Amino acid sequence: MKTQVTGLLAGAALSALTVSPLWAQELVIFWAEWDPANFLQELVLDYEDETGIVVTVETTPWSDFQTKAFTEFNARGSAYDMIVGDSQWLGAASEGGHYVDLTDFFAQHNVGEIMAPATVKYYAEYPGNSGKFWAIPAEGDAVGWSYRKDWFEDPAEMSAFNAKYGYDLAPPETWAQLLDIAEFFHRPDEDRYGVAIYTDNSYDAMVMGVENAIFSYGGELGDFESYEVDGILNSAENAQALEDYKRLYGYTPPGWAKSFFVENNQAITENLTAMSMNYFAFFPALLNEATNPNAKSTGFFANPAGPTGAQHAALGGQGISVISYSENQEASMKFLEWFIQPEVQQRWADLGGYTAHAETLSSDAFRNATPYNEAFYQTMFKVKDFWAVPEFAELLTAANQRLYPFIVGDEGTAQETLDLLADDWKKTFEKYGRSQ
Amino acid sequence: MADLVMTSLDPNSRAAARGWSDLTIRNLFIIPTIAFLIIFNIFPLLYSLGYSFTDFRASTNAPANWIGLQNYKELLNDDFIWRNFTITAKYVIISVAGQVIVGFGLAMLLNRAIPFKGLITTLLLLPMMLSMAVVGLFWKLLYDPSFGIINYALGLGKFEWLADPDMALFAIAITDIWMWSPFVMLLSLAGLSAVPQHLYEAAEIDRAGPFYTFFRITLPLVLPILMIAIIFRTMEAFKTFDLAFIMASQPTTELISIRLYKMAFLEWQTGKSSAFAYIVLIMVVGITNIYVKYLNKVKER
């Protein structure tokens, strides 16, 4: 009995020592479960070699990443020291006091200059143009497209396409061409379909998909400074963009009503569609012959331009923030100092991470490293994002409730849908006192 | 009150041998239970009632402001919330009715001397023992339009069970019926085997037809126990989350519990979702009360 008590005391003393910041030998980074998190785990092994501090990347599936992260924040939990959080969370996490203010860190290390401008704007700054920073851009990401090169380059298909549409079959440069090609390859009797797009309405998947159309058609979600949405969200170009997104849904495989990144990669690996929308972060899996039998004949292109020539894409990706409740804030800051060094960013890119480091990103070595890096580089200067206000989830819910029945259920018109959504968003902004 | 219903301790029991009094045993067993209930059920219940009158959001540091009945007013005036209630009512009716018909039918079939009766009953109970999440995932595969076995077996081609907004709720209800009919069957079987055989013999002597026998003898005698099954299944169906959440994301399958989850843990509208939870609680209590009243009436007969 006595030895048991002594053992318990020793154990308690040991755990008390390990959580004390003076003895911090371990840092925990929380992220979603996907390939980039594995790359990051590999990268931080170097940090362990250099400093002896063990860094662990803890992950959870995407579907409950937001819930789990905010549950931990709300409980003021210190289980994680840093988090690679979604760009939309900036408002909620900064106003809620969950993130450590990194404005001084930015000034001290010139982070605003060394990272690509779009990544600083969307992954780090909140509110927009305030000069207050909450995260270090870590994983750049945006939506791009993959396509079946073998289908596109088949001479019979090429001549049939040219005869029907009057121009050559090639990766689309405009949304009009994208629609033509999707229509052309949509052959349900042959078990071949035109295109795979995002339709999952549980978080931001479908909204991101629609954003690709809206931004390239020259539209906006609203005025991010005055919170005005009426006349902007429900503009004529946005209605056209939504209408065309719904047309694309008509060219998807059967049962394509709850699809996100997994299904959209499957569309290519399972020979289902000619083209597929997805985040660049999921493209390495398409080049890997172990996960994609069509790896050799898979090509990539950036989100095409809209009718006005505008070309943009929806932003994915995340910045890395220090959590206010961490007991190892100082050690976390030291880690971030290490992370933003050019050599580390180069190694991050080599491992497969999408660096946001401007110099690494624009180097020829990076742009030629994979078939999609060039498209990624081009896209990262044209990205736009969703609202990052604390009530972003309510805005997403309203968007899902309005857009999904129109796209999948064929209810109402595009203009009606956007008018109703603009009204919902206006009410939400009024509720939180953002707009007059 | 507690002293009145308490029976005295058996002098030969182990507790008596240890010299424990009735009072000690009461304190030992009842007090921890009551403490547990108060800490984990009653306290959060009252605490969330308080929150339901505020604009509190757990995700921010802002203090909660008292806003009176605003949350309740907003929720009851929200068309989307009413749609969630309509969907839930539809789901409860379809799935409970289906379970009663299938479950009671199976019980009738099994309520006779057949070979391997025990084995068949056990096998029929299997779906009930599986995890909801697993059932949802594999029925999603069964329903798949491209390679699902259901379309193949029924020759339906590429019929979209879960992507079709009108069909998805039925598809989920079918899965629920598959999973929980055995539960109704089990209770019905207990009820059926308790029907005295001499009643059937008497009916036969009086030359009563099978329908007359069923509606005048079988059903009235099984009804009390069947009602218990229906109460359980209604309450469960009312709060279904996992099956619908895993199988489809159609707005036509967004049951109240899914909407509540999103409001509470994705949007972090803690105050409003507490109010929502209270509305749901009041409805469940109301519906259960109607059932219980009816059950008592049935028993009196």
Q: What is the pLDDT of residues A180-194, one digit of tens each?
A: 999 999 999 999 999
Residue A298 bridge partners (DSSP): A148
Over range A43-50, report the average pLDDT: 94
- All structural domains of chain B with their residue ranges: 2-51, 70-300
- Using CB atoms, pick whichever of A67, A401, A408 lies closest to residue B266: A67
Residues 6+ apart with CB under 8 A from B284: B235, B238, B239
Q: What per-residue string of b and e applies to B252-282 under the rule 16 or more CB within 10 Å gives b?
A: bbbbbbbbbebbbbbbbbbbbbbbbbbbbee
Q: Which of A141, A63, A61, A131 is nearest to A94 (CA)?
A: A131
Per the CB < 8 Å rule, is B59 touching A256? no
Inter-chain CB proximity A254 and B145 less than 8 Å: yes
Chain B residues in contact with A193 by the CB 8 A cut-off are none
Percent of chain A with pLDDT over 90: 72
Q: Do A391 and B249 touch (CB under 8 A)?
A: no
- Domain assignment present for residue A80? The answer is yes
Q: How far is A318 from chain B (nearest CA, A)?
A: 18
Q: Which residues contact B241 (CB under 8 A, 6 or more apart)?
A: B255, B257, B258, B261
Domain shared by A196 and A228, yes or no? yes
Identify the closest residue of chain A to B162 by CA–CA distance. Answer: A255
What's the rounded Cα separation, in Å, for the pair A155 and A166?
A: 15
Residues A225 and A134 in one domain: no
Q: Give the pLDDT band (50/70/90) at residue B113.
A: confident
Q: pLDDT tens-digit profile of B241-264?
A: 999 999 987 888 999 999 999 999
Answer whether B59 sits within 8 Å of A390, measured CB to CB.
yes
> Chain A: residue nearest B59 by CA?
A74
ipTM of the complex as predicted = 0.77
Q: Do B252 and A409 touch (CB under 8 A)?
A: yes
Residues A398-416 have a mean pLDDT of 94
**Residue A48: φ, ψ to 5°:** -65, -40
A96 interaction partners in chain B (CB closer than 8 Å): 59-61
pLDDT at A420: 96
Min Cα separation B133/chain A (Å): 14
Query: pLDDT band at B60, cuts 50/70/90?
Result: confident
Q: Determine the topology of domain B70-300 in CATH.
A: MetI-like fold (1.10.3720)
Residue in B146, B249, B266 closest to A393 by CB: B266
Give the distance from residue A312's alpha carbon to the nearest chain B alpha carbon, in angstroms: 28
Interface touch B80/A401, C-beta < 8 Å: yes
Residue A74, pLDDT > 50, answer yes
Q: Which residues of B touch A191 (CB under 8 A)?
A: 146
Q: Report the candidate in B168, B94, B44 with the shortest Cα–Cα distance to residue A409.
A: B168
Query: B residues 144-183 near A, CB within 8 Å?
Result: 144-146, 158, 160, 162-163, 165
Kindly determine whether residue B250 and residue A66, on different chains, have CB atoms separated by under 8 Å. Answer: no
Q: Could you tell me if A180 and A303 lie in one domain?
A: yes
**A–B interface: beta-carbon pairs under 8 A:** 82
Partners of residue B80 in chain A, C-beta under 8 Å = 401
Q: Are the Cβ atoms of A255 and B162 closer than 8 angstroms? A: yes
- Return the residue matching tokens 């394509």: A256
Same domain, A151 and A234: yes
Q: Hey, what are A193's tokens?
A: 């379909």
Q: Reply yes or no on whether the pLDDT at A20 is more than 50.
A: no
Q: What is the mean pLDDT of residues B205-227?
A: 90
- Report the C-alpha gap between A171 and A185 in whole angstroms: 13
> Of B59, B145, B267, which is closest to A74 when you measure between CB atoms?
B59
Cβ A70–B252 below 8 Å, yes or no?
no
* Token reading at A19: 């959580």
- B251 — contact with chain A (CB < 8 Å)? yes
Q: Is residue A4 part of a domain?
A: no
- Is residue A18 over pLDDT 60? no
A315-358 residue pLDDT tens = 988 999 999 999 999 999 999 999 999 999 999 998 988 999 99
**Helices and strands (H, E) in chain B, number of each type:** 16, 0
pLDDT value at A16 more than 70:
no
Q: Is residue A2 part of a domain?
A: no
Task: List, in order, residues 6 or more apart from A49 with CB less than 8 Å away.
Answer: none
In angstroms, the Cα distances linking B15 to B7, B30, B113, B162 are 14, 16, 45, 58
Residue of B nearest to A391 (CA): B267
Closest C-alpha to A371, from A302, A294, A299: A299
B154: closest CA among B169, B166, B171? B171
Same domain, A427 and A300: yes
Query: Is residue A1 domain-resident?
Result: no
Residue A374 has pLDDT above 80, yes or no: yes
Q: Which of A98, A258, A323, A407 should one mutate to test binding to chain B, selecting the residue with the greatest count of B CBs within 10 A?
A: A258
User: What is the number of residues in chain B?
Assistant: 301
Q: How confident is the model at residue A12 (pLDDT cuts 50, 70, 90)?
A: very low
Chain A partners within 8 Å of B249 (Cβ): 200-202, 257-258, 404
Selected residue of A397, A424, A432 to mutate for chain B interface (largest B Cβ count, 10 A): A397
Please name the member of B146, B160, B268 whose beta carbon is closest to the beta carbon of A393: B268
Give pTM, 2 decimals. 0.82
Q: Do B266 and A203 touch (CB under 8 A)?
A: yes
Q: Which domain holds residue A70?
A: 20-141+316-383
Cβ B158 vs Cβ B146: under 8 Å: yes
Show the tokens assigned to A424.
């919902």
pLDDT, position B12: 75
- Give A90 to chain B, closest Cα distance, Å: 12
| 3-class DSSP state of B131 | coil
One domain for residues A92 and A112: yes
| Least CB–CB distance from A397: residue in B165, B248, B262 | B262
Nearest residue in B to A398, CA atom? B80
Between chains, do A393 and B248 touch, taking CB under 8 Å as contact? no
Q: How many domains in chain A?
A: 2
* Average predicted confidence (pLDDT) for chain A: 90
Q: What's the pLDDT at B6?
A: 54
Check: CB of residue A395 under 8 Å from CB of residue A224.
no
* Domain containing residue A63: CATH number: 3.40.190.10
Q: Pick from A382, A414, A32: which is nearest to A203 by CA?
A: A32
Number of residues in chain A: 436
3-state SS, residue B2: helix
How would you class B89 by CB atoms within 10 Å of its CB: exposed for 0-12, middle for 13-18, buried for 19 or more? Answer: middle
Pick from A339, A280, A322, A279: nearest CA to A104: A322
A302: β partners: A144
Residue whose entry in the numeric block shows the structure tokens 């990051």: A40
Query: Cα A121 to chain center, whole Å?
Result: 14
The Cα of A262 is separated from the nearest Cα of chain B by a number of Å equal to: 15
